[in-house]
Structure 1
């Protein structure tokens, strides 16, 4: 390599003396370190805390500060931040024990130059201090080069070669101008392979710049060219063989003597691979410690400790929302026999598969935990606020679990017959808020589980007998309702809609379950269950067909040309993709005039998916079908949303009519609904009118269509035909 002779003009002398400040609250440690460094001819001062350190660096030349990490008032990280804020160029080395390695890594991110562990061998300490001296020397060279038009190439390369760290000089085109021995050693290449090549080819092994190859990459050199400042970055470099090297890079700008555009950057590259590996190992161990502390090693499920933590969170959430939670305690029936006769390998396979099935059965918000042996606990959250629905929900999940675990277990990993038949006994208890302690909850669920075993195993039992009875009644109701759907044990009753003069304007079709033993059952007793389990779809379809068939039968009655029949539609039914097609098919098959059919929608149905609702309503309106909003005033409809809907009627909910004469608030609400509806061009229907005073009030305020027991209860089609 050709080099120029040094210029005749001498550079200002470099003061190679290093002025060091030791910060340690322990006097003996501080004094020992000061004496050791002085023995190597450094200028050293010792102070006891961060405040004294700040005062010293403000009044005395200081090149390097050695800071102990653990001090009573301000720890090493805080002292580092304060000193770096006041003197960014100041070099700081943190001294720490292995127990505070995480803070040391944090310190390096805050700008510390290095860290040393206690006890620190003298040669390691002196080597770290000398690296600072070398860095200071490089900084002096760079600053002198900027001030004196840069010294000769010979002198510059000599300095670079004298530095211990890898150093490379990079031009604006990102090609390497010069590299020292440290860089050649780090990359495993000679000058002939380095000089003139793009830095990203040599350092990274890329064919294009690193910031284009790596998402979020920060290149110190390119940023140095962009703003002319010193920049630092953490990178992964690769040697000639492709092995990764984790490095910290510092880029400094080089300018010509006139101080204008930067023509090159000096980049120092420090190998931090060992530190990176230590940090990764520490993180891996922390993850492993957490896993062992909170998870069952066999199944990977949360253990009792983590379950108790989540149960505490569930208590708090339940207290806040009023929703029930449930604890299911389950035991695998006959597991011990299999484990004893077929060995632990078969037992472990069964437990892992049982854990998998349990996780697949519950929601993400729920927790499945293994308590030990063949005992599992399932924590259910966010059940209904009312007892009856919450009992049904918990019972339904318990039944799904029972069915999932009753399926055969078959494995290819074990010897002999690897097909096993097991079942589960499940105990259930519910909770709301903090009414029960975790200990009581576990005790009740465990007791219920043993009741399930005593009942013959492979069954579910609630701790509370009343809950068990409610569950059994709900299950019986569901079975009977399915039978009623299959055998069409339903009928429609009709409640007339009248004007104030007693003229019949229309009717609402109301569903009744004709039970063979209990007689007529109103929808309140079974529609919530049907909505929950999906049976509302066949029921709703039956209602629509039956109502339209009856409307067709009445179509020829004289004087009823404007008669309209209202049919309630459930949210689940309305949002079925084929609902519009179903209505169109029923209209065609029954031959009714679609203008005489009116569908009643609830506010909750409309708001569930406003866009879908509007699209379907417009499609049905194009056929001639009309719409009413049922139970208006009980939901959260806004005027803006109401105006978007192709409605004809608003039906005032009976809850506001009931106490109309005695409750001024109800009266005010009814007046407001009537006025608002008329302003928007809607027809107003009052539901639940039961006396003449209510009728008079409604007439006075502009409502002229009524429905309620004052006129007639819901009656069969035969009795309804007497109205007219």
Structure 2
């Protein structure tokens, strides 16, 4: 069958050629093309198909969009005419953006010679028939389901992928309304979208013949072919990706041992609860629970017994609390409970929390019967009440300190936050002032850590990540010791601007370095920095001032940033892309992103958080998360870089999983630019 298709295409009277949209190289040309233009394979299309052109053809509709041609969505179709400057013949072209066998995005272009249309009318009609047949052959070769509707939105043509996806035969699909294949949950959405001539990619539920549904990314465009207006709709089944997305969310937000929410989910719930508490002027309570002498059980009875203790403890806490309360496991033997007291009477709040805390202590003291062992435990609880303070990290520190106060008092008890901990707040304020002076004294420095591409068992440096250090009088201070404080105090804004200036200046300096001039420099962008109205303008100004190639600058954005003020974020990211910089999602997998955003955004890279790399050789959950992220990256044609690679064994495992980009101590610690 493949040979028959090749024969049809090769001997067609229609010009048929395929162009790589990234390089403009001609990947395939049929016999007709070669007769007209000679040996054009592997040559630049606009140089061999036109006379005297050194840049892509401005008259080609693929080059008349806001986005570059290689970023136009799969399934995009154009119908256009042009008079060739080499042979003087006029052609009617149809351009179809599709996916090549190796994953590259290509333009499949058909051209019919219409120069002598009147005199050769019969021949043209024949070539039109060939064109239609060839077009059907090509759409049958795409990875997406294709449904073509007439101007009344009735199905007139489908490819084999579409029939397989939907479970209908071609005959059963013909003359069906466009909404017939849409699940009722998405009817209103699709009915609204299909009124547009050219729709953006969006998600909807499709309905199969047997009534079952599946999620898909849909896109469509109205075009004219052979003087008839048709609607070409492309369907990409994302069922597998959706399942992987659920797995990532579950693995990233829930504790695998106890099935309780983990620290990440705790932040989500706290954000929701703290806003409600603040709005309604209620008290909230955070209880930090630690099992006493749990380490002894692990050491004496072994970790399997210890794990069963944690599972049982999680069950007891869940059974004890109300539906409106929330319990999470932080790790080890530490648990956190969030309670909305629904009252602003502090005395009543303390009374209720005392009752709950005593119930918890009593429940934990009940015997644990595990694998014929009877174990007895106690717990220490630290409590912090909150109403206006909605900084979870601070509240956790206060509750943790109160918990240790319970241990110091003899364990098996609860304690409230001691006001003496105000000293912590004062020390933080002092750190802010020291950091402010450090900026003035220019004590901040940038170190750079290499990023590696491993290909064909060979590793080479393709870029670096800029990492800030504080060169204080006490020595070199790492970012995790002062960046959180900079975020809280707002000092991250001047620090972030300084980092951008230093990194861009470094790119400029390396332009004269034969070894490093091709390196890209990745820069972490703070959410607060990104959210400022002048962020894009500032970046544009710096790029022009230093006259650098913007493609050498890669901005790393946090995953959770994508879900804040979504519409404004999408606009800003598209503006950044227009500047020419490349974009990376940092610590991917620790938060969550909609796959629809990944499809729409001009993102180039996903960065796997080092927390998933650290135990990848021994932790099946980490292995599954990394495997899923690599699969998503491949599906969306994104680079995926693993950070925190410290051992040869980790590197070899990741390479075997299909990862090509790496960063970590195995390849070198962060260093001064002149020491790289």
- With a CA cutoff of 8 Å and minimum separation of 6, indicate the structure with the bigger relative contact order: 2
TM range (shorter): 0.3 to 0.5
What is the TM-score normalised by the length of structure 1? 0.39
Choose 1 or 2 for highest CA Rg. Answer: 1
What is the TM-score normalised by the length of structure 2? 0.41
